[in-house]
Structure 1
Amino acid sequence: MKRRTALLGSLAAAAAASTAISSARAETPVDLQLVLAVDVSRSIDEVEAELQRRGYIEALTNDRVIDAILSGETQRIAVCYTEWAGTHYQVVVIDWTVIDSPSAARRFTEKLAEAPRQSQSWTAVGAALAHAGQRFDNSGFVSKRRVIDISGDGRTNDGPPAELVRDRLVEQGIVVNGLPVMMNRTNFGRPPDLTLDKYYEENVIGGPGSFMIVADNFDHFGRAVRTKLVREISGADVTRRPVPA
Protein backbone atom coordinates (compact mmCIF):
# COMPACT_ATOMS: atom_id res chain seq x y z
CA MET A 1 0.00 0.00 0.00
CA LYS A 2 2.84 2.36 0.85
CA ARG A 3 4.58 1.54 -2.43
CA ARG A 4 1.30 2.16 -4.30
CA THR A 5 0.79 5.49 -2.55
CA ALA A 6 4.35 6.52 -3.33
CA LEU A 7 3.90 5.47 -6.96
CA LEU A 8 0.70 7.46 -7.29
CA GLY A 9 2.42 10.46 -5.73
CA SER A 10 5.29 10.17 -8.19
CA LEU A 11 2.89 9.92 -11.12
CA ALA A 12 0.96 12.98 -9.92
CA ALA A 13 4.19 14.96 -9.53
CA ALA A 14 5.33 13.89 -13.00
CA ALA A 15 1.97 14.89 -14.48
CA ALA A 16 2.15 18.28 -12.77
CA ALA A 17 5.67 18.82 -14.02
CA SER A 18 4.64 17.80 -17.53
CA THR A 19 1.72 20.21 -17.42
CA ALA A 20 3.99 23.02 -16.22
CA ILE A 21 6.46 22.30 -19.03
CA SER A 22 3.67 22.16 -21.61
CA SER A 23 2.26 25.47 -20.32
CA ALA A 24 5.69 27.08 -20.47
CA ARG A 25 6.19 25.82 -24.01
CA ALA A 26 2.75 27.12 -24.98
CA GLU A 27 3.77 30.68 -24.17
CA THR A 28 5.11 32.07 -27.44
CA PRO A 29 7.76 34.77 -27.01
CA VAL A 30 6.95 38.09 -28.68
CA ASP A 31 8.47 41.55 -28.43
CA LEU A 32 5.21 43.17 -27.32
CA GLN A 33 1.74 42.21 -26.16
CA LEU A 34 -0.54 45.07 -27.23
CA VAL A 35 -4.22 45.56 -26.42
CA LEU A 36 -5.96 48.15 -28.60
CA ALA A 37 -8.95 49.47 -26.61
CA VAL A 38 -11.22 51.56 -28.85
CA ASP A 39 -14.09 53.82 -27.80
CA VAL A 40 -17.45 53.09 -29.48
CA SER A 41 -19.65 55.26 -27.26
CA ARG A 42 -22.55 57.13 -28.87
CA SER A 43 -20.68 60.43 -28.87
CA ILE A 44 -18.90 59.00 -31.93
CA ASP A 45 -21.13 59.12 -35.00
CA GLU A 46 -21.09 56.64 -37.91
CA VAL A 47 -18.71 58.66 -40.07
CA GLU A 48 -16.26 59.10 -37.18
CA ALA A 49 -16.53 55.43 -36.24
CA GLU A 50 -15.62 54.49 -39.80
CA LEU A 51 -12.66 56.86 -39.80
CA GLN A 52 -11.55 55.39 -36.48
CA ARG A 53 -11.73 51.75 -37.64
CA ARG A 54 -10.05 52.63 -40.94
CA GLY A 55 -7.31 54.43 -39.04
CA TYR A 56 -6.32 51.20 -37.26
CA ILE A 57 -6.59 49.16 -40.45
CA GLU A 58 -4.32 51.49 -42.42
CA ALA A 59 -1.87 51.94 -39.53
CA LEU A 60 -1.37 48.22 -38.88
CA THR A 61 -0.47 47.61 -42.53
CA ASN A 62 1.70 50.72 -42.88
CA ASP A 63 5.32 50.10 -43.92
CA ARG A 64 6.70 52.03 -40.94
CA VAL A 65 4.66 49.94 -38.50
CA ILE A 66 5.73 46.69 -40.21
CA ASP A 67 9.37 47.82 -40.14
CA ALA A 68 9.03 48.51 -36.39
CA ILE A 69 7.65 45.00 -35.84
CA LEU A 70 10.43 43.34 -37.84
CA SER A 71 13.13 45.34 -36.05
CA GLY A 72 12.43 43.62 -32.73
CA GLU A 73 14.30 40.72 -31.16
CA THR A 74 11.69 38.09 -32.08
CA GLN A 75 10.37 40.10 -35.06
CA ARG A 76 6.77 39.61 -33.99
CA ILE A 77 4.15 41.13 -31.71
CA ALA A 78 0.80 39.91 -30.39
CA VAL A 79 -2.25 42.17 -30.77
CA CYS A 80 -5.74 42.04 -29.24
CA TYR A 81 -8.41 44.48 -30.49
CA THR A 82 -11.23 45.45 -28.11
CA GLU A 83 -14.08 47.97 -28.19
CA TRP A 84 -15.72 49.63 -25.22
CA ALA A 85 -18.39 52.09 -24.10
CA GLY A 86 -20.14 51.96 -20.68
CA THR A 87 -19.44 49.44 -17.92
CA HIS A 88 -21.91 47.08 -19.61
CA TYR A 89 -20.02 46.97 -22.90
CA GLN A 90 -16.46 45.76 -23.35
CA VAL A 91 -16.00 43.38 -26.28
CA VAL A 92 -13.06 41.48 -27.77
CA VAL A 93 -13.41 42.06 -31.51
CA ILE A 94 -10.25 40.14 -32.50
CA ASP A 95 -8.49 38.04 -29.89
CA TRP A 96 -4.72 37.63 -29.57
CA THR A 97 -3.08 37.38 -32.98
CA VAL A 98 0.59 37.24 -33.94
CA ILE A 99 1.69 39.85 -36.46
CA ASP A 100 5.10 39.00 -37.90
CA SER A 101 4.81 39.97 -41.56
CA PRO A 102 2.88 42.21 -43.97
CA SER A 103 0.63 39.27 -44.85
CA ALA A 104 -0.17 38.59 -41.18
CA ALA A 105 -0.99 42.28 -40.67
CA ARG A 106 -3.21 42.21 -43.74
CA ARG A 107 -5.11 39.15 -42.51
CA PHE A 108 -5.68 40.84 -39.15
CA THR A 109 -7.01 44.01 -40.73
CA GLU A 110 -9.25 42.09 -43.13
CA LYS A 111 -10.92 40.48 -40.11
CA LEU A 112 -11.23 43.89 -38.49
CA ALA A 113 -12.80 45.40 -41.60
CA GLU A 114 -15.42 42.63 -41.68
CA ALA A 115 -16.20 42.68 -37.94
CA PRO A 116 -19.58 44.21 -37.00
CA ARG A 117 -19.47 47.49 -35.13
CA GLN A 118 -21.92 48.69 -32.48
CA SER A 119 -22.49 52.00 -30.76
CA GLN A 120 -23.32 51.98 -27.06
CA SER A 121 -24.16 54.49 -24.33
CA TRP A 122 -21.85 55.96 -21.68
CA THR A 123 -18.08 56.24 -21.41
CA ALA A 124 -16.33 53.97 -18.90
CA VAL A 125 -12.60 54.49 -19.33
CA GLY A 126 -11.81 52.71 -16.06
CA ALA A 127 -13.87 49.64 -16.95
CA ALA A 128 -12.28 49.59 -20.40
CA LEU A 129 -8.80 49.59 -18.85
CA ALA A 130 -9.76 46.81 -16.43
CA HIS A 131 -11.11 44.68 -19.28
CA ALA A 132 -8.00 45.34 -21.37
CA GLY A 133 -5.75 44.40 -18.47
CA GLN A 134 -7.51 41.06 -18.08
CA ARG A 135 -6.64 40.20 -21.68
CA PHE A 136 -3.06 39.56 -20.61
CA ASP A 137 -4.15 36.74 -18.31
CA ASN A 138 -3.52 33.44 -20.11
CA SER A 139 -2.81 35.20 -23.40
CA GLY A 140 -0.49 32.40 -24.48
CA PHE A 141 2.37 34.83 -25.02
CA VAL A 142 5.32 36.05 -23.00
CA SER A 143 7.01 39.42 -23.57
CA LYS A 144 9.13 42.01 -21.84
CA ARG A 145 6.50 44.65 -22.52
CA ARG A 146 2.72 44.65 -22.07
CA VAL A 147 0.90 47.75 -23.30
CA ILE A 148 -2.69 48.97 -23.40
CA ASP A 149 -3.36 51.53 -26.13
CA ILE A 150 -6.66 53.23 -25.28
CA SER A 151 -8.34 55.80 -27.52
CA GLY A 152 -11.49 57.83 -26.98
CA ASP A 153 -13.25 61.18 -27.29
CA GLY A 154 -14.46 61.59 -23.71
CA ARG A 155 -13.76 61.11 -20.02
CA THR A 156 -15.30 58.63 -17.60
CA ASN A 157 -18.97 59.17 -16.78
CA ASP A 158 -19.71 55.57 -15.77
CA GLY A 159 -17.96 52.96 -13.66
CA PRO A 160 -14.72 53.12 -11.65
CA PRO A 161 -12.39 56.13 -11.87
CA ALA A 162 -9.82 55.59 -14.61
CA GLU A 163 -6.89 56.61 -12.43
CA LEU A 164 -7.59 53.91 -9.83
CA VAL A 165 -7.65 51.17 -12.44
CA ARG A 166 -4.62 52.67 -14.18
CA ASP A 167 -2.63 52.57 -10.94
CA ARG A 168 -3.41 48.88 -10.39
CA LEU A 169 -2.33 48.04 -13.93
CA VAL A 170 0.93 49.93 -13.56
CA GLU A 171 1.64 47.98 -10.36
CA GLN A 172 1.36 44.82 -12.47
CA GLY A 173 3.97 46.11 -14.91
CA ILE A 174 1.49 47.10 -17.60
CA VAL A 175 2.00 50.39 -19.47
CA VAL A 176 -1.04 52.45 -20.50
CA ASN A 177 -0.74 54.83 -23.46
CA GLY A 178 -3.50 57.14 -24.65
CA LEU A 179 -4.94 58.59 -27.83
CA PRO A 180 -7.49 61.28 -26.91
CA VAL A 181 -9.52 62.67 -29.79
CA MET A 182 -10.24 66.37 -29.30
CA MET A 183 -13.66 67.17 -30.75
CA ASN A 184 -14.39 70.85 -31.28
CA ARG A 185 -18.14 70.36 -31.43
CA THR A 186 -21.13 69.86 -29.14
CA ASN A 187 -21.96 66.27 -28.13
CA PHE A 188 -25.50 65.52 -26.90
CA GLY A 189 -25.93 69.11 -25.84
CA ARG A 190 -22.60 69.19 -23.98
CA PRO A 191 -19.91 71.71 -24.97
CA PRO A 192 -16.65 70.35 -26.40
CA ASP A 193 -14.15 69.02 -23.86
CA LEU A 194 -11.14 71.22 -24.49
CA THR A 195 -9.09 69.65 -21.69
CA LEU A 196 -9.52 65.99 -22.61
CA ASP A 197 -5.80 65.74 -23.32
CA LYS A 198 -5.05 66.91 -19.78
CA TYR A 199 -7.51 64.33 -18.40
CA TYR A 200 -5.74 61.55 -20.30
CA GLU A 201 -2.33 62.76 -19.15
CA GLU A 202 -3.30 62.89 -15.48
CA ASN A 203 -5.80 60.04 -15.17
CA VAL A 204 -5.32 57.52 -17.98
CA ILE A 205 -1.72 57.02 -19.12
CA GLY A 206 0.84 55.50 -16.79
CA GLY A 207 3.88 53.27 -16.45
CA PRO A 208 7.51 53.57 -17.56
CA GLY A 209 7.76 55.48 -20.84
CA SER A 210 3.99 55.98 -21.10
CA PHE A 211 2.85 58.66 -23.53
CA MET A 212 -0.10 59.88 -25.54
CA ILE A 213 -0.69 61.17 -29.02
CA VAL A 214 -3.43 63.79 -29.41
CA ALA A 215 -5.65 63.70 -32.50
CA ASP A 216 -7.30 67.03 -33.27
CA ASN A 217 -10.29 65.18 -34.74
CA PHE A 218 -11.17 61.90 -36.42
CA ASP A 219 -9.87 63.13 -39.79
CA HIS A 220 -6.40 63.06 -38.19
CA PHE A 221 -7.01 59.82 -36.31
CA GLY A 222 -5.26 57.50 -38.77
CA ARG A 223 -2.05 59.51 -38.73
CA ALA A 224 -2.12 59.65 -34.93
CA VAL A 225 -2.56 55.86 -34.68
CA ARG A 226 0.32 55.23 -37.09
CA THR A 227 2.67 57.49 -35.15
CA LYS A 228 1.61 55.92 -31.88
CA LEU A 229 2.02 52.33 -33.04
CA VAL A 230 5.52 52.96 -34.35
CA ARG A 231 6.56 54.33 -30.94
CA GLU A 232 4.85 51.59 -28.97
CA ILE A 233 6.21 48.75 -31.06
CA SER A 234 9.74 50.07 -31.31
CA GLY A 235 9.81 50.83 -27.58
CA ALA A 236 11.25 54.28 -28.26
CA ASP A 237 12.07 56.38 -25.21
CA VAL A 238 9.35 59.04 -25.22
CA THR A 239 8.12 61.53 -22.67
CA ARG A 240 4.73 61.49 -21.01
CA ARG A 241 3.93 64.88 -22.46
CA PRO A 242 1.15 65.05 -25.08
CA VAL A 243 2.39 64.93 -28.65
CA PRO A 244 0.16 66.40 -31.39
CA ALA A 245 -0.46 64.11 -34.33
Structure 2
Amino acid sequence: MGVNERTTRRGPLRLLTLLAFAALLAAAPRATAADVGQVDLELVLAVDISYSMDVEEQQVQRDGYVAAITSKPVLDAIRDGLLGRVAVAYVEWAGADEQRTVVPWRLIDGPASARAFADELAAQPLRRAYRTSISGALTHAVRMFEGNGYDGLRRVVDVSGDGPNNQGAPVENVRDEAIERGVVINGLPLMLKRPSYAMMDLVDLDVYYRDCVVGGPGAFVLPVRAIEQFAEAVRTKLVMEIAGLPPEAPAIGPSPAPRVQRVADDPTSSCTVGEQLWRDRFGN
Protein backbone atom coordinates (compact mmCIF):
# COMPACT_ATOMS: atom_id res chain seq x y z
CA MET A 1 0.00 0.00 0.00
CA GLY A 2 1.42 3.34 -0.97
CA VAL A 3 1.80 6.37 1.22
CA ASN A 4 -0.97 8.27 -0.57
CA GLU A 5 -3.44 5.40 -0.07
CA ARG A 6 -2.67 5.13 3.67
CA THR A 7 -3.11 8.87 4.05
CA THR A 8 -6.41 8.77 2.16
CA ARG A 9 -7.80 6.03 4.41
CA ARG A 10 -6.49 7.68 7.62
CA GLY A 11 -8.38 10.91 6.91
CA PRO A 12 -11.90 9.51 7.52
CA LEU A 13 -10.69 7.66 10.64
CA ARG A 14 -9.22 10.84 12.09
CA LEU A 15 -12.41 12.73 11.31
CA LEU A 16 -14.50 10.05 13.04
CA THR A 17 -12.21 10.18 16.07
CA LEU A 18 -12.50 13.95 16.33
CA LEU A 19 -16.27 13.79 15.98
CA ALA A 20 -16.49 11.15 18.71
CA PHE A 21 -14.30 13.24 21.02
CA ALA A 22 -16.45 16.32 20.39
CA ALA A 23 -19.58 14.31 21.20
CA LEU A 24 -18.04 13.19 24.49
CA LEU A 25 -17.20 16.78 25.40
CA ALA A 26 -20.73 17.90 24.59
CA ALA A 27 -22.20 15.13 26.73
CA ALA A 28 -19.90 15.76 29.70
CA PRO A 29 -21.35 17.91 32.53
CA ARG A 30 -20.11 21.46 32.43
CA ALA A 31 -18.94 23.38 35.46
CA THR A 32 -21.58 25.82 36.63
CA ALA A 33 -21.77 28.48 39.31
CA ALA A 34 -23.32 25.83 41.55
CA ASP A 35 -20.40 23.42 41.00
CA VAL A 36 -17.80 25.94 42.10
CA GLY A 37 -19.88 27.55 44.86
CA GLN A 38 -20.15 30.94 43.23
CA VAL A 39 -22.68 33.24 44.89
CA ASP A 40 -23.59 36.90 44.80
CA LEU A 41 -22.98 37.29 48.53
CA GLU A 42 -21.46 35.48 51.50
CA LEU A 43 -23.29 36.85 54.56
CA VAL A 44 -22.70 36.17 58.26
CA LEU A 45 -25.56 37.25 60.53
CA ALA A 46 -23.89 37.87 63.92
CA VAL A 47 -26.52 38.28 66.65
CA ASP A 48 -26.03 39.46 70.24
CA ILE A 49 -27.30 37.12 72.99
CA SER A 50 -25.76 38.88 76.00
CA TYR A 51 -27.74 39.14 79.26
CA SER A 52 -28.62 42.75 78.49
CA MET A 53 -31.06 41.26 75.98
CA ASP A 54 -34.18 40.02 77.79
CA VAL A 55 -36.06 36.94 76.62
CA GLU A 56 -38.76 38.98 74.85
CA GLU A 57 -36.16 40.92 72.88
CA GLN A 58 -34.35 37.72 71.97
CA GLN A 59 -37.55 36.15 70.70
CA VAL A 60 -38.43 39.23 68.65
CA GLN A 61 -34.90 39.24 67.24
CA ARG A 62 -35.05 35.55 66.30
CA ASP A 63 -38.55 35.87 64.82
CA GLY A 64 -37.44 38.90 62.82
CA TYR A 65 -34.67 36.99 61.07
CA VAL A 66 -36.88 33.94 60.49
CA ALA A 67 -39.56 36.10 58.86
CA ALA A 68 -37.14 38.28 56.90
CA ILE A 69 -35.21 35.49 55.18
CA THR A 70 -38.44 34.13 53.66
CA SER A 71 -40.03 37.49 52.86
CA LYS A 72 -40.83 38.50 49.29
CA PRO A 73 -38.52 41.57 49.26
CA VAL A 74 -35.55 39.43 50.35
CA LEU A 75 -36.35 36.60 47.94
CA ASP A 76 -36.77 39.13 45.12
CA ALA A 77 -33.38 40.64 45.95
CA ILE A 78 -31.76 37.19 45.82
CA ARG A 79 -33.48 36.32 42.53
CA ASP A 80 -32.42 39.60 40.92
CA GLY A 81 -28.75 39.11 41.72
CA LEU A 82 -26.21 38.33 39.03
CA LEU A 83 -26.19 34.64 40.02
CA GLY A 84 -29.44 34.51 41.98
CA ARG A 85 -27.75 32.74 44.91
CA VAL A 86 -26.41 33.77 48.32
CA ALA A 87 -24.68 31.89 51.13
CA VAL A 88 -25.79 32.74 54.68
CA ALA A 89 -24.69 31.66 58.18
CA TYR A 90 -26.20 32.64 61.54
CA VAL A 91 -23.96 33.18 64.58
CA GLU A 92 -24.85 34.06 68.19
CA TRP A 93 -22.29 35.86 70.30
CA ALA A 94 -21.71 37.46 73.71
CA GLY A 95 -18.32 37.55 75.50
CA ALA A 96 -14.86 37.21 74.00
CA ASP A 97 -14.98 33.40 74.09
CA GLU A 98 -18.70 33.05 73.44
CA GLN A 99 -19.51 32.59 69.75
CA ARG A 100 -21.71 29.81 68.46
CA THR A 101 -22.62 29.04 64.86
CA VAL A 102 -26.33 28.27 65.15
CA VAL A 103 -26.95 27.72 61.43
CA PRO A 104 -23.79 26.97 59.41
CA TRP A 105 -23.33 28.07 55.81
CA ARG A 106 -26.43 27.41 53.76
CA LEU A 107 -27.08 28.18 50.11
CA ILE A 108 -30.27 30.19 49.54
CA ASP A 109 -31.47 30.39 45.95
CA GLY A 110 -35.25 30.49 46.26
CA PRO A 111 -38.27 30.00 48.53
CA ALA A 112 -37.57 26.35 49.38
CA SER A 113 -33.98 26.87 50.55
CA ALA A 114 -34.97 30.09 52.36
CA ARG A 115 -37.71 28.22 54.22
CA ALA A 116 -35.30 25.43 55.12
CA PHE A 117 -32.88 28.00 56.59
CA ALA A 118 -35.71 29.70 58.52
CA ASP A 119 -37.00 26.39 59.90
CA GLU A 120 -33.51 25.36 60.98
CA LEU A 121 -33.04 28.68 62.78
CA ALA A 122 -36.47 28.66 64.40
CA ALA A 123 -35.86 25.17 65.81
CA GLN A 124 -32.84 26.30 67.84
CA PRO A 125 -33.42 27.12 71.53
CA LEU A 126 -32.86 30.65 72.78
CA ARG A 127 -29.93 31.16 75.10
CA ARG A 128 -28.06 33.98 76.83
CA ALA A 129 -24.45 34.52 77.89
CA TYR A 130 -22.25 37.04 79.71
CA ARG A 131 -20.41 40.15 78.48
CA THR A 132 -20.31 41.86 75.11
CA SER A 133 -17.43 41.33 72.71
CA ILE A 134 -18.20 42.74 69.28
CA SER A 135 -14.54 42.24 68.44
CA GLY A 136 -14.82 38.54 69.29
CA ALA A 137 -17.91 38.25 67.11
CA LEU A 138 -16.15 39.94 64.18
CA THR A 139 -13.05 37.77 64.53
CA HIS A 140 -15.18 34.62 64.53
CA ALA A 141 -17.30 35.78 61.61
CA VAL A 142 -14.35 36.74 59.41
CA ARG A 143 -12.74 33.35 59.98
CA MET A 144 -15.91 31.68 58.77
CA PHE A 145 -15.25 32.88 55.22
CA GLU A 146 -12.10 30.76 55.03
CA GLY A 147 -12.66 27.44 53.29
CA ASN A 148 -16.45 27.67 53.47
CA GLY A 149 -16.87 26.27 49.95
CA TYR A 150 -18.28 29.49 48.47
CA ASP A 151 -16.82 32.14 46.23
CA GLY A 152 -18.86 35.30 46.73
CA LEU A 153 -18.75 38.49 44.75
CA ARG A 154 -19.05 40.22 48.14
CA ARG A 155 -18.45 39.24 51.76
CA VAL A 156 -20.48 40.90 54.52
CA VAL A 157 -20.73 40.56 58.30
CA ASP A 158 -23.98 41.88 59.73
CA VAL A 159 -23.71 42.66 63.46
CA SER A 160 -26.71 43.32 65.69
CA GLY A 161 -26.38 44.16 69.38
CA ASP A 162 -27.54 46.40 72.20
CA GLY A 163 -24.28 47.57 73.75
CA PRO A 164 -20.66 48.58 73.11
CA ASN A 165 -17.68 46.26 73.18
CA ASN A 166 -16.58 45.63 76.79
CA GLN A 167 -14.37 42.55 76.48
CA GLY A 168 -11.73 41.18 74.14
CA ALA A 169 -9.59 42.97 71.57
CA PRO A 170 -10.26 46.63 70.72
CA VAL A 171 -13.19 46.60 68.32
CA GLU A 172 -11.72 49.32 66.11
CA ASN A 173 -8.59 47.27 65.40
CA VAL A 174 -10.55 44.13 64.53
CA ARG A 175 -12.89 46.16 62.33
CA ASP A 176 -9.95 47.61 60.40
CA GLU A 177 -8.37 44.18 59.91
CA ALA A 178 -11.64 42.81 58.52
CA ILE A 179 -11.90 45.69 56.04
CA GLU A 180 -8.33 45.05 54.89
CA ARG A 181 -9.39 41.48 54.07
CA GLY A 182 -12.20 42.73 51.87
CA VAL A 183 -15.04 42.18 54.33
CA VAL A 184 -17.81 44.77 54.71
CA ILE A 185 -19.36 45.18 58.18
CA ASN A 186 -22.89 46.55 58.65
CA GLY A 187 -24.59 47.24 61.97
CA LEU A 188 -28.04 46.94 63.53
CA PRO A 189 -27.75 48.61 66.95
CA LEU A 190 -30.73 47.78 69.15
CA MET A 191 -31.76 50.83 71.15
CA LEU A 192 -34.92 49.42 72.70
CA LYS A 193 -34.52 50.55 76.31
CA ARG A 194 -33.90 53.77 78.20
CA PRO A 195 -30.10 53.95 78.56
CA SER A 196 -28.89 53.09 82.06
CA TYR A 197 -25.40 53.64 83.44
CA ALA A 198 -25.93 50.63 85.71
CA MET A 199 -26.49 48.48 82.63
CA MET A 200 -23.63 50.15 80.74
CA ASP A 201 -25.89 51.29 77.94
CA LEU A 202 -25.05 54.10 75.54
CA VAL A 203 -27.41 56.92 74.62
CA ASP A 204 -25.79 57.12 71.20
CA LEU A 205 -25.15 53.45 70.46
CA ASP A 206 -25.93 54.11 66.80
CA VAL A 207 -23.11 56.66 66.64
CA TYR A 208 -20.75 54.20 68.37
CA TYR A 209 -21.62 51.54 65.77
CA ARG A 210 -21.15 54.06 62.99
CA ASP A 211 -17.73 55.18 64.24
CA CYS A 212 -16.28 51.99 65.72
CA VAL A 213 -17.99 48.87 64.35
CA VAL A 214 -19.03 49.17 60.71
CA GLY A 215 -16.83 49.75 57.70
CA GLY A 216 -15.97 48.89 54.13
CA PRO A 217 -17.48 49.97 50.81
CA GLY A 218 -21.15 50.90 51.24
CA ALA A 219 -21.21 50.03 54.96
CA PHE A 220 -24.18 51.32 56.93
CA VAL A 221 -25.89 51.41 60.33
CA LEU A 222 -29.63 50.88 60.76
CA PRO A 223 -30.63 51.59 64.38
CA VAL A 224 -33.82 50.16 65.89
CA ARG A 225 -35.45 52.17 68.67
CA ALA A 226 -38.75 50.34 69.09
CA ILE A 227 -39.37 46.61 69.27
CA GLU A 228 -42.13 46.81 66.65
CA GLN A 229 -39.59 48.19 64.16
CA PHE A 230 -37.32 45.18 64.30
CA ALA A 231 -38.88 42.90 61.68
CA GLU A 232 -39.07 45.63 59.05
CA ALA A 233 -35.58 46.84 59.87
CA VAL A 234 -34.15 43.34 59.36
CA ARG A 235 -35.93 43.00 56.00
CA THR A 236 -34.66 46.39 54.87
CA LYS A 237 -31.13 45.57 55.97
CA LEU A 238 -31.06 42.18 54.23
CA VAL A 239 -32.41 43.62 50.98
CA MET A 240 -29.72 46.32 51.02
CA GLU A 241 -26.98 43.78 51.72
CA ILE A 242 -28.12 41.23 49.16
CA ALA A 243 -28.77 43.80 46.44
CA GLY A 244 -25.62 45.76 47.25
CA LEU A 245 -27.64 48.96 47.53
CA PRO A 246 -26.06 52.20 48.73
CA PRO A 247 -27.01 53.36 52.24
CA GLU A 248 -30.11 55.29 51.19
CA ALA A 249 -33.12 53.65 52.82
CA PRO A 250 -36.39 55.17 54.04
CA ALA A 251 -37.20 55.63 57.70
CA ILE A 252 -38.49 52.59 59.56
CA GLY A 253 -41.44 52.76 61.94
CA PRO A 254 -42.92 55.53 64.09
CA SER A 255 -41.28 58.75 65.17
CA PRO A 256 -38.49 59.12 66.14
CA ALA A 257 -37.78 56.99 63.09
CA PRO A 258 -34.38 55.34 62.69
CA ARG A 259 -32.68 55.96 59.39
CA VAL A 260 -29.80 54.32 57.66
CA GLN A 261 -26.57 56.04 58.63
CA ARG A 262 -23.42 56.18 56.57
CA VAL A 263 -19.92 55.72 57.91
CA ALA A 264 -18.72 59.04 59.28
CA ASP A 265 -15.70 60.83 57.85
CA ASP A 266 -15.21 62.55 61.22
CA PRO A 267 -15.89 59.97 63.96
CA THR A 268 -16.81 61.40 67.36
CA SER A 269 -17.09 58.28 69.53
CA SER A 270 -14.54 56.79 71.87
CA CYS A 271 -14.20 53.21 70.71
CA THR A 272 -13.16 52.08 74.20
CA VAL A 273 -16.17 53.58 75.99
CA GLY A 274 -17.62 50.13 76.71
CA GLU A 275 -14.41 48.92 78.33
CA GLN A 276 -14.23 52.13 80.39
CA LEU A 277 -17.84 51.76 81.58
CA TRP A 278 -17.07 48.19 82.67
CA ARG A 279 -13.94 49.25 84.57
CA ASP A 280 -15.78 52.11 86.26
CA ARG A 281 -18.51 49.76 87.47
CA PHE A 282 -16.61 46.55 88.21
CA GLY A 283 -12.99 47.69 88.49
CA ASN A 284 -11.52 45.15 86.08
TM-score by length of 1: 0.85
Instruction: Kindly indicate whether the alpha-carbon contact (under 8 Å) linking 2:52 and 2:199 is maintained by their aligned counterparts in 1.
Output: no
Residue 39 of structure 1, CA deviation: 0.2
2:237 is the counterpart of 1:233: no
Q: 2:162 aligns with which of 127, 134, 153?
A: 153
1:191 Cα deviation from its structure 2 partner: 6.4
Match of 1:222 in 2: 231
Q: Distance in 1 between matches of 2:136 and 2:227?
A: 23
Equivalent runs, 1:142-221 vs 2, <5 Å: 142-185=151-194, 189-190=198-199, 192-221=201-230
The answer for the alignment partner of 2:111 in structure 1 is 102
Find the aligned partners of 2:59 and 2:246 in 1 and give their Cα distance. Answer: 31
How far, CA to CA, are the matches of 2:240 and 2:210 in structure 1? 17
Q: Secondary structure at the match of 2:52?
A: coil
1:12-161 matches, cutoff 5 A = 27-161=36-170
Answer whether contact 1:169 1:175 (CA < 8 A) is retained. Answer: yes
CA contact (8 A) 2:40 2:81 kept: yes
The structure whose RCO (Cα within 8 Å, separation 6+) is larger is: 1
Change (3 A) 1:45 1:141: same
Letter in 1 for 2:237: K
C-alpha deviation, 1:222, in angstroms:
1.1
Residue 57 of structure 1: how far off its partner (Å): 0.5
Deviations 1:86-131 (A, max 9, x none): 0121000010000001111111000100012210010000010000
For 2:139 and 2:58, the matched residues in 1 are separated by: 23
Any gaps of 5 or more consecutive residues in structure 2? 1-30, 252-257, 261-284
* Matched residue count: 222
The one-letter amino acid paired with 1:164 is N
Give the greater-gyration-radius structure (CA). Answer: 2
Following TM superposition, the consecutive aligned residue runs of length 4 or more in structure 1 with deviations greater than 4 angstroms are none
Q: Percent identity?
A: 44
Structure 1 residue matching 2:238: 3-state secondary structure: helix
Q: Which one is further off, 178-187 or 98-107?
A: 178-187
Once the two structures are TM-superposed, the CA of residue 194 in structure 1 deviates from its matched residue by 1.1
Q: In structure 1, what residue type is equivalent to 2:49?
A: V
Q: 1:143 to 1:82 in 2, by over 3 A?
A: same
Alpha-carbon RMSD across the aligned residues, in angstroms, is 2.2
Check the 8 A contact 2:135/2:175 in 1, yes or no: yes
SS at match of 1:32: strand
The answer (yes or no) to whether the contact 2:163–2:200 under 8 Å persists in 1 is no
Give the superposition deviation at 1:132. Answer: 0.5
| Offset at residue 44 of structure 1 (A) | 0.4
How far 1:162 moved relative to its partner? 1.1
TM-score w.r.t. the length of structure 2 is 0.74
Unaligned 5+ runs, structure 1 = 1-21
How far the C-alpha of 1:192 sits from its partner, in A, is 4.4
Q: Deviations over 1:5-26 (max 9, x none)?
A: xxxxxxxxxxxxxxxxx9x996
* Alignment check: 8 A CA contact 2:133 2:165 kept: yes
Instruction: Check whether the contact 1:87–1:127 (CA below 8 A) recurs between aligned residues.
Output: yes
How big is each residue's C-alpha offset from its partner over 1:168-214, in whole Å with a ceiling of 9 and x where there is no partner? 00000000000001133356833642110010000000001111111
Distance (whole Å) between structure 2 residues aligned to residue 155 and residue 192 of structure 1: 8
Q: What is the letter of the counterpart of residue 159 of structure 1?
A: G
Alpha-carbon separation, structure 2, partners of 1:71 and 1:28: 18
